[in-house]
């Protein structure tokens, strides 16, 4: 897969459902450049099993993201109408009602392809007809994008493996601490922990204290 860390996040303009039920036809992450960090995550499909647990988990922590000046945006290859229907469906019925952050619709699969999280690829038959090989859904890709529009972290899980929202928040804290203080964050760093300067003495002191 492509490593996007250190590169500009692929740009797009696509339909999305925001605020739990409002359609936007030309939604783009470019609107946040210079203003907010972005967590942009892909999930395989609406009306599935692992996906709602993740989507709702992000919503339950939305205040933590807002405190850190982070916009959460989800995306799948479903249509905007599928997103809308799922957002209107009660949790007890397998829905995600109550989720307010944007869900981007990518039925052409171009966004997932540009972020290299598509679980398959296009090919051609002997007759020259386009055919899709694999599963026409996205893996569980997640990208932390800074205020300059640059990808600073990415992770891609296979479809059965749900992600940790707490780990996402930890990585945001680490990035923002590093940006503010010019220090680097060691293994398992948590907000409030000691960080390191990029020199041998700092590392030696840190390891000696463990």
**Active site positions, annotated:** 51
C-alpha closest to that of 5 among 119, 171, 160, 167? 171
Place of tokens 């988990």: 57
Tokens describing residue 52: 């709602």
Contact 72, 39 (CB under 8 A): yes
Rounded to 5 degrees, φ, ψ at 3 are: -95, 115
Output DSSP code: residue 139. -
Angle (CA) 162-146-121 rounded to 5° is 50
Using the Cα atoms of residue 91, residue 93, residue 96 and residue 97 in order, give the sign of their dihedral: negative
**Angstrom distances, CA of residue 16 to CA of 57, 76, 103, 201:** 20, 10, 5, 50
Place of tokens 């055919």: 131
């Amino acid at each position: 897969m492509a490593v996007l860390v250190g590169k500009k996040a692929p740009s797009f303009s696509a339909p999305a459902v925001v605020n739990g039920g409002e359609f936007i036809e030309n939604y783009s992450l470019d609107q946040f450049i210079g203003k907010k960090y972005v967590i942009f995550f892909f999930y395989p499909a609406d009306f599935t099993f692992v996906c709602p647990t993740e989507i709702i988990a992000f919503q339950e922590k939305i205040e933590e993201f807002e405190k850190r000046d982070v916009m959460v945006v989800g995306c799948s290859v479903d249509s905007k109408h599928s997103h809308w229907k799922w957002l209107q469906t009660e949790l007890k019925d397998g829905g995600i009602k109550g989720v307010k952050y944007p869900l981007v619709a990518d039925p052409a699969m171009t966004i997932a392809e540009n972020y290299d999280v598509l679980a398959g690829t296009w090919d051609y038959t002997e007759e020259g007809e386009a055919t899709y090989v694999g599963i026409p859904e996205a893996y569980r890709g997640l990208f932390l994008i800074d205020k300059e529009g640059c990808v600073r972290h990415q992770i891609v899980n296979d479809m059965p493996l749900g992600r940790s929202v707490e780990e996402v928040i930890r990585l945001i804290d680490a990035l923002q601490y590093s940006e503010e203080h010019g220090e680097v964050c060691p293994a398992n760093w948590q907000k409030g922990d000691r960080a390191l300067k990029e020199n041998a003495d700092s590392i030696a002191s840190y390891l000696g204290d463990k």
